[in-house]
Structure 1
């Protein structure tokens, strides 16, 4: 059953409420013992992540009774939850995307929510708690930036440009060690290529015209399902580097997004050459 506008609005309101209650009061206010590690020393989780996911999960169950909710922190405890993403309607939550930034007092973080039905992303939300604004998209209906009660439709530029003029994001640390040298060898080709440490803001920057491309080395569904939909609805392109169309059920591969088809093709050739060389 497609997500209705009323349900989407209710989820957005829930995200805003939970962020105001559980996230922003803890920003630059975390105490001893409020930060822990997960898979690696720099893969952090805070009390805010856990509290926000618990609260938001409960709110979404009220809005979409009987539906499945899969949160990043829940998957950390039970990875088999990812098996539910391709069946029925599932809401994906990243309670704080950019936890490293959040934990260190950098206001480059936010909340990501995606609603996936039978393996297809139907709705996505990229919410910035610091400024209480967000970008959302229903599949086939365009992407919209919301602030202060007003909504503006987003369209990314299709104008071509040389690689030397492009600004983008490449998170080298997300790739296997054997890829690092090849990727580093492409840095000089671009005007700027770095990582923001938060997929939410990398997708927001692309959708609003601040950057031209992004290359990701991990396919965590909570990082990409909403952002890919939003970028595509704004006119951009997102595929795996080998040309496969992105699907939320995917867990392996490298994801390249760009603001136009021509730009995606040029970037794919560049990055594939670097990684295979």
Structure 2
């Protein structure tokens, strides 16, 4: 039996976490509040950790039977990723997606959550603390934008365009060297390419009709489960470049999320054929 998921309550939880723990720290961090994890561009801040603790407490009240898998929790206990693969019900959270932007005072960061039921993403939410709205989706129920008033509007992806007129977000940081050398020269085939350093806002752009595709490697679940589901429920197409479906068990590989199956194939052919 599929559990009932109260996405409106979960959206309210993300909003409250941002109001209490994230926004008061934005452009108000000391040097001691920012730490490196694996490199100078892989950071964690006091806001990440405080927001994750706040969201975890809220999830225990809303979904007491769910395994909680947060980005910072996994940093402390990597075995949680294996537990996610076996869980009947789990909540996956990125408390501050775009931490490097947040730490630098750049107003481009998001809070992301997905609900995974027996290995399938059942719900996804991406909250924008500065815009104060949440994009959310439930599998089979479409995608929508939820305003602070509670009013919701339907999300739809953009119609297909030739790549010469298309907008794409390409996050190539974690591409293997061979793939990076093959793909970067091919970006000239796309009208506009960008990298927000924040997958949450790139998925929001895609799901609301502002781009034709996004490309990612290093497929950590907190970075992509919510955005992939929202894209699909807004009418888009998501898959790994080998043609396989993207699932919560995927950690490696390269992912294309696109506004349509036509746009997905166009991006794959132009950027990754023979790469």
d(CA) in 2 for partners of 1:141 and 1:15?
A: 21
| Superposition TM-score, scaled by structure 2 size | 0.96
d(CA) in 1 for partners of 2:99 and 2:3?
A: 28
- Matched with 1:19 is 18
Aligned ranges 1:60-71 → 2 under 5 Å: 60-71=59-70
Aligned ranges 1:116-265 → 2 under 5 Å: 116-149=116-149, 150-158=151-159, 160-265=160-265
Report if aligned partners of 1:3, 1:122 keep a CA contact under 8 Å in 2. no
| 1:9-50 alpha-carbon deviations (Å, 9 max, x no partner) | 222111111110000000000012000011122100000000
Report if aligned partners of 1:97, 1:199 keep a CA contact under 8 Å in 2. yes
- Cα shift at 1:91: 0.1
- Cα shift at 1:3: 4.5
d(CA) in 2 for partners of 1:216 and 1:148?
A: 30
d(CA) in 1 for partners of 2:3 and 2:37?
A: 33
Aligned ranges 1:30-41 → 2 under 5 Å: 30-41=29-40
| Superposition TM-score, scaled by structure 1 size | 0.95
d(CA) in 2 for partners of 1:266 and 1:14?
A: 38
Alpha-carbon distance change, 257 to 222 in structure 1, aligned in 2, over 3 angstroms: same
Q: Select between 230-239 and 178-187 the one with higher mean Cα deviation.
A: 178-187
d(CA) in 2 for partners of 1:40 and 1:25?
A: 26
Report if aligned partners of 2:183, 2:272 keep a CA contact under 8 Å in 1. no
| 1:202-237 alpha-carbon deviations (Å, 9 max, x no partner) | 100000011110110110100110100000000000
- Cα shift at 1:58: 1.0
| 1:65-92 alpha-carbon deviations (Å, 9 max, x no partner) | 1221000001111211011223210000
- Matched with 1:94 is 94
Alignment coverage as a number of residue pairs: 273
- Cα shift at 1:146: 1.4
d(CA) in 2 for partners of 1:207 and 1:227?
A: 8
d(CA) in 1 for partners of 2:2 and 2:28?
A: 39
d(CA) in 1 for partners of 2:267 and 2:182?
A: 14
SS of the equivalent of 2:39 reads coil
Report if aligned partners of 2:158, 2:210 keep a CA contact under 8 Å in 1. no
- Cα shift at 1:4: 2.9
Any gaps of 5 or more consecutive residues in structure 1? none
